[in-house]
């Protein structure tokens, strides 16, 4: 059976549950219930069940993650997003979601994540839709606070909630569509910045932005201007004349990659093109925790677009070129670059490596770049070609790239300072009822400002 057919079987909705369950999930549930009823003298079923679980994990990894093609997150989003709206509409209203998160655990601060509207008529209508989203969350939270039912019992704390806006990465075809998407991101960022500076206290509720979803379909340069717009607004004044609270920045990167070097390059490009500061966050960045030698040993072969392969090589050359001790490795990378270019162009390259690196760097830091992978402009031909290589052959290059990216990421970090909420004078911080009143007043002030 082909992987695609297996995937359809594993993710086929189970009719009796109206789409809320899957056959394999019910099999696991029944198996666990069976284990609970068995005595210690019965070993046949437990052995079969746990062996099935092991095999299921291996098959799931092979079918869903598709390691060789790097489509794990893509397949996940194809399943997740169609069901997301159904779950939100039918089961997870805002108030219920807040209650379920806060009631079951000790929470001092809760980050809520939403996506700003991507379809709107004008900048004014976009800002209004964002405010409508905000009102829905604030009114739900205020209702729970007033009822006093969020945290009863031993856990008597009332969390401060903050809103983080997700810029969702989207696949686009053609320069015209790319320009539209970039304009949408910039409009969203401008609307968020304007609202934070216009409405009193809203800067303390709109606490962050993030670019999430599929890493492979869009490079960091798409978000250079939106992030710069919000960074500039961090230095502006609010309606009361005070400097607004700075908004935080996150960029999901280094989590979905065909090749170890691709994930490392994405991190390096995000740090540079988005001007990531010590207090900014990289989402996941799991590639930094993978040992190159282990990855090369476990990954027999890698298949990736030829220009992604070339960009990885040129980027690695730039890292190695800054260290005179790596001359031998530098020569090997240069040979690989020439060989890959000959395959891509069916001709001998005419540019120097240094000129190619300059073109790559411009593409990686230019939001008008026509490709989701930063490719030297002079090489942008035959985009459908693929390159197959064995990671063991370039293990030293991966180790150099991993080490230098690791040092760069942790070198940019400084001491993190957490702000402490200021309470009115003579306030009794021992009373959780007072804390509830404070949260209610803060929320009321936000609602008054918006309305």
How deeply is 135 buried, as exposed, middle or buried, from its count of CB atoms within 10 A (0-12, 13-18, 19+)?
A: middle
Determine the Cα angle at 61 with ends 286 and 394, to 5°.
55
| Residue whose C-alpha is closest to residue 72's, from 239, 249, 215 | 215
pLDDT tens profile 378-436: 555 555 577 777 888 888 888 888 888 877 877 776 543 333 333 333 333 333 355 56
Domain boundaries, the chain: 107-298+397-412+429-451, 302-389
Instruction: State the DSSP H helix or E strand holding residue 401, giving kind and residue range, or none if neither.
Output: helix 395-411
pLDDT in tens, 142-201: 887 777 665 554 455 677 889 999 999 988 877 778 889 999 999 999 999 999 999 999
What lies within 8 Å, CB to CB, of 340 at 6+ separation is 306, 309, 310, 313, 387
Contact 161, 112 (CB under 8 A): yes
pLDDT digits (tens, 9 = 90+) for 228-265: 999 999 988 888 888 899 999 999 999 888 899 999 99
- H-helix or E-strand spanning residue 164: strand 160-168
Q: Please give the DSSP secondary-structure letter assigned to residue 326.
A: G
Tell me the residue ranges of DSSP E strands in 191-295. Answer: 206-212, 248-253, 281-284
Q: Is the pLDDT confidence value at 82 over 60?
A: no
* Range of lowest pLDDT (62-66, 88-92, 237-241): 88-92
Q: What is the pLDDT of residues 382-392, one digit of tens each?
A: 555 777 778 88
Q: Which residue has the higher pLDDT, 451 or 433?
A: 451
What percent of the chain has a predicted confidence (pLDDT) above 90?
Answer: 24
Span between the terminal Cα atoms of the chain, in Å: 58
Across 353-370, average pLDDT: 78
Residue 300's pLDDT is what? 82
Rounded to whole angstroms, the Cα distance separating 290 from 267 reads: 14
Q: What's the rounded Cα separation, in Å, for the pair 372 and 172?
A: 9
Q: Are 199 and 239 in contact (CB under 8 A)?
A: yes
């Amino acid at each position: 059976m082909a992987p695609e057919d297996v995937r359809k079987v594993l993710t086929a909705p189970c009719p009796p549950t109206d789409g809320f369950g899957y056959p394999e999930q019910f099999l696991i549930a029944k198996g666990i219930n069976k284990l609970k009823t068995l005595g210690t003298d019965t070993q046949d079923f437990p052995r079969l069940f746990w062996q099935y679980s092991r095999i299921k994990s291996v098959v799931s990894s092979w079918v869903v993650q598709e390691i060789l093609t790097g489509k794990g997150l893509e397949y996940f989003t194809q399943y997740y997003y169609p069901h997301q709206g159904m779950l939100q509409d039918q089961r997870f209203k805002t108030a219920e979601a807040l209650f379920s998160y806060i009631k079951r655990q000790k929470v001092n601060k809760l980050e809520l994540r939403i996506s700003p509207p991507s379809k709107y008529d004008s900048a004014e209508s976009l800002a209004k839709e964002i405010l409508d989203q905000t009102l829905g969350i604030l009114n739900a939270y205020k209702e729970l606070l007033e009822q006093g039912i969020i945290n009863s019992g031993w856990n008597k704390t009332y969390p401060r909630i903050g809103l983080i806006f997700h810029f969702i990465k989207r696949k686009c075809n053609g320069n015209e569509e790319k320009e539209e998407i970039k304009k949408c991101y910039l409009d969203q960022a401008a609307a968020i910045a304007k609202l934070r500076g216009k409405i009193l206290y809203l800067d303390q509720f709109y606490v962050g932005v993030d670019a999430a979803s599929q890493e492979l379909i869009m490079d960091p340069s798409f978000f250079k201007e939106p992030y710069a717009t919000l960074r500039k607004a961090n230095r502006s004044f609010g309606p009361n004349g005070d400097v607004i609270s700075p908004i935080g920045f996150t960029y999901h990167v280094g989590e979905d990659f065909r090749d170890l070097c691709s994930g490392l390059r994405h991190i390096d490009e995000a740090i540079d093109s988005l001007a990531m500061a010590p207090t900014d966050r990289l989402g996941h960045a799991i590639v930094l925790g993978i040992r190159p030698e282990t990855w090369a040993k476990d990954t027999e072969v890698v298949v990736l677009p030829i220009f992604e392969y070339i960009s990885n090589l040129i980027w690695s050359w730039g890292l190695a070129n800054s260290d005179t001790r790596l001359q031998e490795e530098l020569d090997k990378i240069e040979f690989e670059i020439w060989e890959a270019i000959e395959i891509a162009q069916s001709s001998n390259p005419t540019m120097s490596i240094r000129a190619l690196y300059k073109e790559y760097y411009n593409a990686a830091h230019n939001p008008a770049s026509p490709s989701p992978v930063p490719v030297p402009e002079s090489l942008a031909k035959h985009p459908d070609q693929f390159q197959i290589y064995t990671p063991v052959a370039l293990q030293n290059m991966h180790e150099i790239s991993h080490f230098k990216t690791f040092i760069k990421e942790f070198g940019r970090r400084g001491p993190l300072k957490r702000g402490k909420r200021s309470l009115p004078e003579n306030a009794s911080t021992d009373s959780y009822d007072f804390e509830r009143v404070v949260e209610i007043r803060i929320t009321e002030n936000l609602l008054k400002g918006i309305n």
